[in-house]
Structure 1
Amino acid sequence: MRTTLVFAQIVISALLIAAILLQQRGGGLSAAFGGDGNVYRTKRGLEKAIFIATIILAVFFFGIALLSIIIV
């Protein structure tokens, strides 16, 4: 059971890194320091799907981390 959790955590972490790297730059904290922070636009299409997938993967990663702590 523990090896399954470790393997799942490795796979989810790799997917989470890929999802974060695929997102467009220019939002968040970097926009506060001279970026294009005054323009509001909504996420659409693939950008929105990657954003939602990043949130879901982060929740799964956190859940598996807590589960592995409980099992140990």
Structure 2
Amino acid sequence: MDTFLNISQIVLSCLLIISILLQQKGTGLGGAFGGEGNVYRSKRGVEKTLYFATIIIVILFTAVAVVNVIY
């Protein structure tokens, strides 16, 4: 069981890194200093799917980490 949890945590962490890196990049720190000129918009299509997939991966990663600590 311990090996399964460790391997699943490694796989989930790799998926999480990939899903975060694939998301659309913003202007960085430009918005913090008043350089943000974009209008807020809703996520559509692949961007929305990737956003929700990232949330699900984070929840799974957290659950596996908690179970790994308990066992």
TM over 0.5: yes
More displaced 10-residue stretch of structure 1: 31-40 or 9-18: 31-40
Percent of paired sites with the same residue: 53
- Moved segments of 4+, more than 2 Å: 29-38
CA distance in 2, matches of 1:11, 1:48: 22
For residues 1-47 of structure 1, the C-alpha deviation after alignment (integer angstroms, 9 at most, x for no partner) is 000000000000000000000001117x7433344365110000000
Q: CA RMSD in A?
A: 1.8
- When residues 68 and 36 of structure 1 are mapped into structure 2, their CA distance, relative to the original with a 3 A threshold, is same
Aligned residue for 1:40, secondary structure, equals coil
Q: 1:8 to 1:41 in 2, by over 3 A?
A: same
Q: Supply the distance in 1 between the matched residues of 2:25 and 2:33 (Cα, whole angstroms).
A: 13
Query: Corresponding residue for 1:67?
Result: 67
TM-score under structure 2 normalisation? Answer: 0.87
How high is the TM-score relative to the length of structure 1?
0.86
The corresponding residue for 2:39 is 39
Structure 2: give runs of 5+ residues left out of the alignment: none
Letter of the 2:40 partner, please give it: Y
